[in-house]
């Protein structure tokens, strides 16, 4: 793998390898939580914190963790940070805690965090892993908040809880329901594809990297053929 | 001088040519919808014509615009399919719906359901049905507001001009109130979505389509028969259930959409029965008073599987054998 600069590692997650819109991992909380913009920020920052900390820890411990039981080890590290986040949110932001609900504890099994641990942190240095975690976390936050803004504006007529269009035009409630989530998600993926001209996949050195299952796929080790 | 100029056509087989193309079929569907349109103008007044015109224009515009944006051939507006979608969508809306909501519906139908999936022939579900459901779920209040706008309507539907909204027969039935008699139901002296009120006018259009061989009667007949049989099973009046809500419009004009219904006759009958079963199940046990559009959408999604089950057996091929 060719060496990337620190800045590249950081900005990689923004658009080029955006975890949600390009790698298409961690879609379940994305679809469920992007009904409101504020949810997107809350969830995004929680993931950003957990991802950065777990990337640092896993990267630092990569020599210690035996290869055969690495996934359980990652889960333990991730779960520890998720617990911290959950306690902090429920202590200081009870309303956010209510609206995020079960999705905070579910960060433990979020594909993005496990995926980045497997794809990046266990191969790279601590600093690189931290930058990757921050970048991916920011990318996730951007995607979720943007989706939340679109769905909240169209489906509820508000933005961050402030009424924008609700008293002018009747909001289309379907946008805050599941169909609206899939619709917004699909359109955003299409737009990102258009911006990056669909070249992201081709540029990846490891063909498997774009695959959502790459974190757990055994063929990756043998350089599987997509 | 080229061969063409001598009226000689050199081509590969088959040589039998049928002049019927998409545009001819779609124009026939438009003609078949005219009786129902005329009836709804008679009942609801000028607003019905306006709503239909707006939906047709918006659909054709979206078809043209989105194909231009996607760098595809935008001459497909000439095949009338977008116009038919707009017309059928208008028939599915309450006549008093704000026009911008109708335009949102056209956007859903043409851009999201039809063009994003690849245009005519590639859509997984009937565009008009998905648009109706999107509006129904999205603007629940407005879509269930059955305003009586025409003066004629106020007189015929026994509503005083002050009270400008009246429930549909199915809503009356759900509330346990007195429902219109079967003659009123059949002829269309009832309230409801713009184009679905008169069973008689829709049947005239349906007969025209069957006569012109545009549609096969398999789906409408199996759909209606299933509704009637299930109505009897549930102890309801079958004629009322057939004439109420969207069954007639759905069975004749929406379930028979070529793209989203099975190919073989056996498949069509399965499709019609499925539509009937789900319509009656939703009416009887669901939260909504009407389920025709949901039933047809569900069967649209099952269509590829039905096509798979009812594959025609090739002559001379053994069961389970290879070609």
Q: Looking at residue B70, what is its pLDDT?
A: 85
pTM above 0.90, yes or no: no
Q: Where are the domains of chain A?
A: 8-216
pLDDT tens series, chain B, 323 aa: 454 566 666 677 777 777 778 888 898 999 999 999 998 888 888 888 999 999 999 999 999 999 988 888 877 888 888 999 999 999 988 888 888 899 999 999 999 889 888 888 888 889 999 999 888 888 877 777 776 655 555 555 555 444 445 667 777 777 776 677 777 788 877 778 888 888 899 999 999 999 988 889 999 999 999 999 999 999 888 888 888 888 899 999 999 988 888 989 999 999 999 999 999 999 888 877 778 889 999 999 999 999 998 887 777 776 655 54
Maximal C-alpha separation, chain A: 60
Nearest CA in chain B to A184: B112
The DSSP bridge partners found for residue A159 are: A162
ipTM: 0.72
For residue A170, list chain B residues with Cβ-Cβ distance below 8 A: 98, 101, 139, 141-142
The residue of A151, A155, A168, A172 whose CB has the most chain B CBs within 10 angstroms, and thus the best one to mutate to test that interface, is A172
Peptide bond before B151: cis, by omega within 30 degrees of 0? no
- Say whether A42 sits in a helix, a strand or coil: helix
Nearest CA in chain B to A194: B70
Contacts of B5 (CB under 8 A, 6+ apart): none
CA distances from B76 to A130, B82, B118, B131 (A): 53, 9, 12, 20
Contact B95, B48 (CB under 8 A): yes
User: A173 vs B101: CB contact, 8 Å cut-off?
Assistant: no
Average pLDDT along chain A: 81
Q: Which residues of A touch B (CB under 8 A)?
A: 169-170, 172-175, 177, 179, 183
For residue A173, list chain B residues with Cβ-Cβ distance below 8 A: 137-140
CA nearest to A107, candidates A132, A136, A141, A83: A83
User: A173 vs B137: CB contact, 8 Å cut-off?
Assistant: yes
pLDDT digits (tens, 9 = 90+) for A201-210: 554 545 555 5
Instruction: Measure CB to CB from residue A174 to each of B101, B137, B142 and give the nearest one.
Output: B137
Q: Looking at residue B96, what is its pLDDT?
A: 81
- Say whether B320 sits in a helix, a strand or coil: coil
For residue A175, list chain B residues with Cβ-Cβ distance below 8 A: 138
On whether any CB of chain A is under 8 Å from the CB of B212, the answer is no
Please determine, for residue A93, whether its predicted confidence score (pLDDT) is greater than 60.
Answer: yes
């Amino acid at each position: 793998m060719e060496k990337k600069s620190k800045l590249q590692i950081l900005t990689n997650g923004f658009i080029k390898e955006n975890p949600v819109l390009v790698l298409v991992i961690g879609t379940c909380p994305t679809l469920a939580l992007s009904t409101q913009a504020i949810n997107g920020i809350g969830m995004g920052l929680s993931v950003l914190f957990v991802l950065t900390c777990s990337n640092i820890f896993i990267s630092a411990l990569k020599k210690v963790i035996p290869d055969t039981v690495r996934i359980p080890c990652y889960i333990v590290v991730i779960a520890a940070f998720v617990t911290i986040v959950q306690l902090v949110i429920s202590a200081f932001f009870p309303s956010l805690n209510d609206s995020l609900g079960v999705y905070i504890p579910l960060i433990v099994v979020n594909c993005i965090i496990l995926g980045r641990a497997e794809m990046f942190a266990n191969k790279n240095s601590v600093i690189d892993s931290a930058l990757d975690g921050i970048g991916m976390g920011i990318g996730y936050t951007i995607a979720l908040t943007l989706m939340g803004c679109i769905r909240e504006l169209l489906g509820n007529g508000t933005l961050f809880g402030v009424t924008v269009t609700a008293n002018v035009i009747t909001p289309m409630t379907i946008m805050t329901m599941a169909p609206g989530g899939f619709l917004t998600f699909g359109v955003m993926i299409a737009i990102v594809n258009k911006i990056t001209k669909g070249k992201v996949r081709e540029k990846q050195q490891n063909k498997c990297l774009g695959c959502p299952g790459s974190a757990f796929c055994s063929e990756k080790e043998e350089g599987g053929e997509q | 001088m080229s061969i063409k100029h001598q009226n000689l056509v050199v081509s590969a087989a088959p040589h039998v040519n049928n002049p019927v193309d998409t545009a001819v079929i779609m124009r026939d569907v438009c003609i078949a919808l005219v009786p129902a349109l005329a009836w709804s103008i008679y009942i609801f007044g000028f607003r019905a014509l306006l709503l239909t015109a707006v939906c047709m224009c918006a659909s054709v515009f979206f078809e043209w615009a989105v194909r231009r944006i996607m760098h595809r051939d935008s001459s497909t507006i000439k095949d009338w399919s977008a116009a038919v979608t707009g017309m059928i969508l208008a028939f599915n809306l309450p006549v008093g719906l704000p026009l911008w909501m109708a335009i949102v519906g056209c956007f859903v139908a043409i851009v999201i359901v039809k063009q994003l999936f690849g245009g005519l022939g590639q859509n997984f579900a009937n565009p008009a049905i998905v648009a109706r459901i999107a509006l129904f779920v999205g603007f629940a209040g407005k879509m269930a507001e059955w305003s009586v706008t025409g003066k004629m309507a106020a007189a015929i539907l026994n509503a005083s001009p002050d009270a400008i909204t009246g429930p549909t027969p199915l809503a009356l039935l759900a509330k346990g109130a007195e429902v219109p008699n079967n003659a009123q139901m059949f002829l269309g002296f009832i309230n409801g979505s713009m184009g679905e009120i008169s069973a008689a006018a829709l049947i005239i259009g349906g007969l025209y389509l069957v006569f012109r061989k545009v549609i096969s009667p398999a789906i409408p007949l199996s759909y209606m028969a299933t509704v009637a049989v299930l109505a009897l099973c549930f102890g309801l009046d079958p004629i009322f259930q057939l004439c109420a809500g969207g069954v007639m419009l759905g069975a004749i004009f929406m379930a028979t959409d070529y793209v989203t219904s099975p190919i073989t006759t056996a498949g069509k009958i399965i499709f019609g029965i499925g539509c009937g079963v789900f319509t009656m199940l939703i009416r009887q046990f669901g939260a909504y008073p009407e389920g025709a559009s949901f039933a047809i959408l569900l069967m649209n999604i099952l269509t590829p599987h039905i096509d798979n089950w009812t594959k025609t057996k090739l002559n001379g091929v053994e069961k389970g054998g290879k070609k």
